[in-house]
Structure 1
């Protein structure tokens, strides 16, 4: 359960209308050369880039999206330099769980009327393809973004990067497989958004664990495991002299049980209802130490059984490198401070 250290990964989809193969026999080669230059520019910014083959029919788009999924791509950049009909692209893109960004890629940085001929048109008329595809994707309900600009412009990479980070966040949330322990905090309704449309679209369903089930997991922790974790705490933390051995052992058993649960269901996020856990005498611990240690290793966490925020924390950790969970308690109005 370590923090993700691999590069942000972008998949570049290369569409071209099939009819253009009769007009320009070399259009595929030209499109791939242009894409190669774009890919090198993106790699220079630290991105991992995977370019598809040229796609012209729906079956090829479906295969390319599946390949992107198999390679763990964070974002599909639909690079429309020539036109390609929305009916070729939209079905597979709408079905894909990977976030989508539309881009009218061009070889031209400037428009020179005296030099604008059929050859110039070939790889520089994707704007209306973006318009076509955006209209159709919007009708399907598929979320997507649009970016404009030439890849050689100084600010292009800085504008693209947040989209790729957002893609990593969404993909990490989709794959978080969150666990909820102890249900929701009763009557705290703003956190109970598991039925929201954006969650449904992600296809995420939490693993629900009762407080009683978690207590059984704690009871199964061995003395040897407990001693090992207590010794680790003493090496890692400055511990108060009034922190008794029983409390240290209970904290260790809670962390060991939670780790075992997450590993058993291959989860990367947990929403813990501290009230239910504390009220059960067999647990009697909100598991805050366990949650903090796990967050330092890349696991998402949220209190009050809020598994949706937990998977968001997981996503932000993967997208930004560091993220944590806290609650705002008090405001210093004169000194402009917050107590978290």
Structure 2
């Protein structure tokens, strides 16, 4: 069955958009007298590269960089335009010291595209052709300068017309977009984090400096006031959308559904006002407040489906990586490892009731159920129930190692087409790691992988590796 279209979000932080990439073509004036018109010829080559990659990103092509002033001007323009990254292309050999300062001082994610106009060296080549296609040693000079400056960058060598090259640029461009969005991210935390849960704790200033997310605390009282101020039309429209989109449990009362709809709409309004692209709630912070009737379970599921990052229990690290999962690979899903199934060499994945229904099976209806829940000490929270879609999947956990040291632990595997668990009233699925449960879990635990994580459909370890390279954090595949 087709997935429902989420209610429209007014928050620009969660809108889907193509990566916006600058192309910086580098050469030098040395060859102008030798080959008249070479600058214009190579500028046209840069334009063709961008045109070829039009389906990968929105491109801004700078005029050919022929000196230090050109490089610094082009990079300032890219930064002023709010681009997500810069792909460097050697149009001829260009000395690295003319671009080193501009590149090493920029916060924009970089890729060095080691390409040349012609794919093959032929007997017809003359010295002009040698000059047009000599970018490789300019790439070596520039890469050496970036390495010596401790500047992170990705390298993409290939034939620029090939599908493989486009696929690798696409992976880097998505990673650059995710990195840029992380650096702009605000994570709203409603109340306080779960007491005693250590793997979610992080130095917030170190997180801001290293990766970019800023923590924004939202008082539960603000949610209560916002819920009370919402117009009835907002609540009615959300409930009508749910009626069209889900199989709604007849046991849910009008009061339960209206209260849930007010919580979801109130959370989203506060996130919009604070320009937060991700958030986290903790059941005790809601339950102990005394003014709420139930926990916002269904709200988390639909807000994730709209593109918000989410994590339970006040976990800023997991909320941030779910948000990055949206930007990097699409449809980030918050989950945790619940139990191991050794006979099936798999792990039962679930959480208390939150899950992105964009990863649901397509052959079963997504249900909005009445669901008893003792945690939080409140009334039954309407919960969106589904099973994960079978097929390739990837788990990723963001680990704080102290100070500004972070690690991403990644496991590829498969969501199994496993039997239903009729008593489990929360989103779930069974994940079989490529490396097997025993080896995967041994390595996960040795690497300090956390118990909250993002899941994406597809094999995404290489996508996450590129992101880690761009932000210069450790990538551990288990």
SS in 2 for 1:283: coil
Match of 1:252 in 2: 261
Flag structure 1 segments of 5+ consecutive residues without an equivalent.
Answer: none
Choose from 258, 266, 277 the match for 1:268: 277
Residues of 2 paired with 1:117 and 1:38: CA distance? 23
SS in 2 for 1:127: helix
SS in 2 for 1:79: strand
Match of 1:107 in 2: 117
Residues of 1 paired with 2:312 and 2:299: CA distance? 12
Give the alignment's TM-score, normalised by structure 1. Answer: 0.86
Match of 1:130 in 2: 139
For these two proteins, the number of residue pairs brought into alignment is 338
Structure 1 residues 61 and 296: CA distance shift in structure 2, 3 A: same
* Matched ranges for 1:118-157 at <5 A: 118-157=127-166
* Matched ranges for 1:1-340 at <5 A: 1=9, 4-21=15-32, 23-43=34-54, 45-112=55-122, 115=124, 117-193=126-202, 195=204, 199-221=208-230, 225-283=234-292, 285-337=294-346, 338-340=348-350
Give the alignment's TM-score, normalised by structure 2. Answer: 0.63
> Cα deviation per residue 1:230-281 (whole Å; 9 max; x = unaligned)?
4544444333343334432332221122111111122221122233223222
Residues of 2 paired with 1:298 and 1:288: CA distance? 16
Larger helix share, 1 or 2: 1
Residues of 2 paired with 1:105 and 1:148: CA distance? 6
Residues of 2 paired with 1:242 and 1:106: CA distance? 65
Shift of 1:146: 0.8
Note if contact 1:313-1:323 (Cα within 8 Å) is conserved in structure 2: yes
Query: Please, which moves more after superposition, 211-220 or 83-92?
Result: 211-220
CA RMSD of aligned residues (A): 2.9
Residues of 1 paired with 2:117 and 2:50: CA distance? 13
Residues of 2 paired with 1:224 and 1:34: CA distance? 55
> Cα deviation per residue 1:160-214 (whole Å; 9 max; x = unaligned)?
2211221122222223332222232223222234548675244332222233443
The one of the two structures with greater contact order (alpha-carbon pairs below 8 A, sep at least 6) is 1
